[in-house]
Structure 1
Amino acid sequence: MASPARTRVTPRIIGRLRLASQGLLGKGFAGVPEAVRGMTALQAQDLQAALWAVGLRVPGAGLSEVRAALNVGTVVRSWPMRGTLHLLAPEDLRWILNITTPRLVQGMASRHRQLEIAAGDVEVCRKIALDLVSGAGSESGMPVGATRGELFAAFEAGGQPPTGQRGVHLLGLLCQSASLVPGPLEGNQQKFVAFDDWIATSRDLGREEGLAELLLRYLGSHGPATVRDFAWWSNTSLTEARAALAAVRGELVELEFDGTGYWLSPATAALLDDGVPGQRTVLALPGFDEFVLGYTDRSLVLPPEHAQKIVPGGNGVFKKAIVAGGEVVGTWARQGTGRSAKFVPEPFDDTGPLGPSALAAFIRAVERYERFLAS
């Protein structure tokens, strides 16, 4: 019996394989903690976008369910990579910080000198912060924590002025060194709590072992992707990334496209044998979604001539994206207010709207988003 023909690799096929890796095709993930753990880390500087990014990957999940996971600590949010907030599984945060923090702090050294932040200042603020947030619990036994404003006031009282971004950088350093972690939500802000009070169990991985696992999980959740994609995403050196690949390449599959090697999990690669799903799938992604942002080279799924429409002016703010068949084809936005408000597509093709089938699929996608917000 003849073997099934292997699907020819194209940019759209790579895009759909990435959708599958990211839980955006098929059954998705079983629950909110499973989705965050399965994704390794989800970009989360825009909290509302991050909540929808999780909801998209968990069929039937509502906004309240994702917020609840943050409130009880089955999902955590911190600054593990590139100085940017991400959502992670709690047991993964410490070992990832151990890998990424030294390089990040080294890269910020000049800025910290400008802000007059020395090692001694960080230690003073560490004691002030832990004295403020440790040992205080609610009747439920959960830490109460402190808001950013309360921490800044305590820093000021302790002779550590938080003005001019100094407080933000001090808080970041305390989180990146696993002293504090953003905890329960207060509205759309999080209170900071002691890391050891909030995260009871942490995995312990050495640097080489941790880098190998981080690469394996990134490629499992984001593949097909390159080693350069991983080095950028994790803010690790290309030399270390290549060494990590050498340690785990036997657990991965390599695809070659246009002279470049792309790595992915065997489970995702198996989709090539029977036909990669998602050819007609239309998704309404949040801004900053990993499908768009999680790679240093986005040109396979986002045509370079349209990149400015996703990140206008290169300002670092990623707009909501419409993905059709594995390619970013436009943005979407809310227009109007109150009952007359609606979500409208803004396709890249200025000559006409989405076709009838794609438009119907987009409407279903934003209806799902509205159900998510309401539940």
Structure 2
Amino acid sequence: MQRASFGADVDLRTRRELTALRLTAQRVASPTTATIAETVRYLFAVQAQDLPGARWSVGLRSRGATDADVGAALASGAVVRSWPMRGTLHLVAPEDLGWMLRLTRPRQATFAATRRRALGITDDDMATARRTAVAALEGGRVERRDVLLGRFEGAGIPTTGQRGYHLLWNLAQDGVLVFGPPDGAHPTFALVEEWIRAPRDFEGDEALGEFAARYVASRGPATDRDFAWWSSLTLGQARRALEIAQARSIERGGERYYLAEGLEPAARGIQLLPGFDEFLLGYQDRSAPLSAEFAPRIVPGGNGIFQPTIVVGGLVAGTWRRSTSARAATVEIEPFGELSSTTRAGLGRAARHLGRFLGVPAIIR
């Protein structure tokens, strides 16, 4: 897979133009009254290995939404969680999962095959795991991850040393398993054919065009390389998809960016975005919102764990973290520089928005 880039020679004026348009396209600066399911469907896919962060990513884009609303959408199956792209967990609309996997599975499987061999997972192991999972879950049943892994162990398939994770990942890639309704803090699994009752059926060029159109609408302005990286498609497939979608484009700084018709830039604002939010993770080149000098503070040590970000006027201006109790949420900020009184007031409003989502008062520290 291509590596994402944090730095490029992009002038500040272009950076501000790109991010102002992306804040609108992504509904960060202009949340709507859409339901949680409608927001996820519009965003197409929301990175979700950090589930609490993903819930806030969706919630901040849905005016008036609460964490309980997102939880209810997951519990009912109105939104599902799986590995449709880049070997990474995402929230998607249930009807989209199957056709997305048909497009992205071949390339993902190529990258995963080496790891599976290194873990000693054989084709016989996968066949046994499949039979075991279907027998345990058919009839509309769901089981916690630990219980399902215990069944694999009982069938003679070791699950230690990342083997369990890759067994589940491969079954999800094959369209057998999908995450079911959460059981408290425990993830569960269900059978795709029973949990997703009305899948959409796109194939070939129609699927490529739909993929590109949905990405451009919710992420533009973005380059063909951004789309290829995000989608797990090859660059050739991505360019073909954009051609099929007849995506509008503009040129800035020698780069061609694709975006929706009629997109208007957002007014400058201040947001508290979770780690792994699509405002950063939606692009291969992240230099528009994030200066290269600050990139190490977003992913400390290059460990792949993205810190929550403070975004001021479309540019990343610091990090933050929260601690939450039954009575309050405390937001601790670490700005990259001195904050004006106007910015501090804006952070206070952003924290109150987070508090309303969580259902508790929130304060800045």
Candidates 66, 71, 77, aligned match of 2:70 = 66
CA offset digits 1:123-154 (Å, max 9, x no partner): 2111100100111xxxxxxx341111111111
Q: Displacement of 1:239 after TM fit?
A: 0.9
Does the Cα contact within 8 Å between 1:9 and 1:257 map onto a contact in 2? no
Counterpart for residue 235 of structure 2: 238
Kindly provide the amino acid, as one letter, of the partner of residue 30 in structure 1.
A
Alignment of 1:122 with 2:126, yes or no, is: yes
Deviation at 1:341, TM superposition (A): 6.4
For 1:334 and 1:240, locate their aligned partners in 2 and report how far apart those are by CA, in whole Å.
40
Is 1:177–2:174 an aligned residue pair? yes
Aligned to 1:247: 244
Which of residues 351, 359, 364 is equivalent to 1:374? 359
The residue identity in structure 2 corresponding to 1:114 is A
Query: What does the per-residue CA deviation read over 1:43-81, in whole Å, with 9 as the maximum and x for residues that have no partner?
Result: 000000000001000011001110000000000000001
State which of 186, 190, 199 in structure 2 corresponds to 1:189.
Answer: 186
Whichever residue aligns with residue 345 of structure 2, its letter is: A
3-state secondary structure, aligned to 2:333: strand
Partner amino acid, structure 2, of 1:347: P
Residue among 258, 261, 264 paired with 1:263: 258
Instruction: Give 1:371 deviation, angstroms.
Output: 1.3
* Conserved 8 A contact 1:283-1:362: yes
Matched residue, 1:319: 307
Correspondence 1:140-219 to 2 at 5 A: 143-219=140-216
CA distance in 2, matches of 1:336, 1:128: 39
Q: What is the DSSP-based 3-state SS (H/G/I as helix, E as strand, rest coil) of the residue aligned with 1:200?
A: coil
Partner of 1:285: 273
> For structure 1, which segment, 288-297 or 240-249, has the greater mean C-alpha deviation from structure 2 after superposition?
240-249
Q: Quick one: structure 1 residues 337 and 126, their matched pair in 2 at CA, closer, same or farther if it must change by over 3 Å?
A: closer
Matched, 1:30 2:34: yes
Q: In the alignment, is the contact (CA less than 8 A) between 1:28 and 1:58 conserved in 2? A: yes
CA drift at 1:345: 2.2
Instruction: Give per-residue Cα distances to partners, 1:297-325, cap 9 Å, x unaligned.
Output: 00011111101111111111111101111
Contact in 1 for aligned 2:270/2:343 (Cα 8 Å) = yes
**2:345 counterpart of 1:360:** yes
Larger Rg: 1
Aligned-partner residue type, residue 203 of structure 2? G
The question of 1:331 aligning with 2:337 is answered: no
Q: Does 1:102 align with 2:106?
A: yes
Structure 2 counterpart of 1:298: 286
Aligned to 1:90: 94
SS in 2 for 1:189: coil
**Distance across 1 between alignment mates of 2:119 and 2:97:** 27
Secondary structure class of the residue paired with 1:127:
helix
- The residue number in structure 2 matching 1:138 is none
Aligned-residue offset at 1:28: 2.5
CA contact (8 A) 1:278 1:326 kept: no
1:310 matched to 2:314: no
RMSD: 1.7
Instruction: Provide Cα deviations, 1:1-26, integer angstroms capped at 9, x if missing partner.
Output: xxxxxxx9621121011110111122
**What amino acid maps onto 1:371 in structure 2?**
R
Measured in 2, the distance between the counterparts of 1:29 and 1:241 equals 31
> Is the 8 Å Cα contact of residues 208 and 244 (structure 2) preserved in structure 1?
no
Percent identity over paired residues: 45
How big is the shift at 1:216? 1.2
Q: Which residue of 1 aligns with 2:3?
A: none
Distance (Å, rounded) in 2 between the aligned partners of 1:336 and 1:153: 32
Question: How far off its partner does 1:29 sit?
Answer: 4.8
Q: Deviations over 1:318-351 (max 9, x none)?
A: 11101111111111123798878631321112xx
**Any idea what SS the aligned residue of 2:30 has?**
coil
CA distance in 1, matches of 2:325, 2:76: 33
C-alpha spacing 1:37/1:152, structure 2 compared with 1 (3 Å): same
Deviation at 1:119, TM superposition (A): 2.5
3-state SS of the aligned residue for 1:236?
coil
Q: Distance in 2 between matches of 1:169 and 1:335?
A: 32
Question: How far apart in 1 are the matches of 2:248 and 2:214?
Answer: 13
Which stretch shifts more, 22-31 or 293-302?
22-31
User: What is the rounded CA distance, in whole Å, between the counterparts of 1:264 and 1:9 in structure 2?
Assistant: 18
Q: Which amino acid aligns with 1:106?
A: T
User: Which amino acid in structure 2 is aligned with residue 155 of structure 1?
Assistant: F
- Structure 1 CA distance, aligned partners of 2:41 and 2:324? 36
Q: Distance in 1 between matches of 2:282 and 2:324?
A: 31
The answer to whether the 8 A contact 1:29-1:35 is kept is: no
Query: Structure 2, unaligned stretches of length 5 or more?
Result: 1-11, 361-365
Change in 2 beyond 3 A, CA 1:79/1:335:
closer
Range that drifts further, 225-234 or 119-128: 119-128
CA gap 1:199/1:337 in 2 versus in 1, 3 angstroms: closer
Q: What letter matches 1:317 in structure 2?
A: I
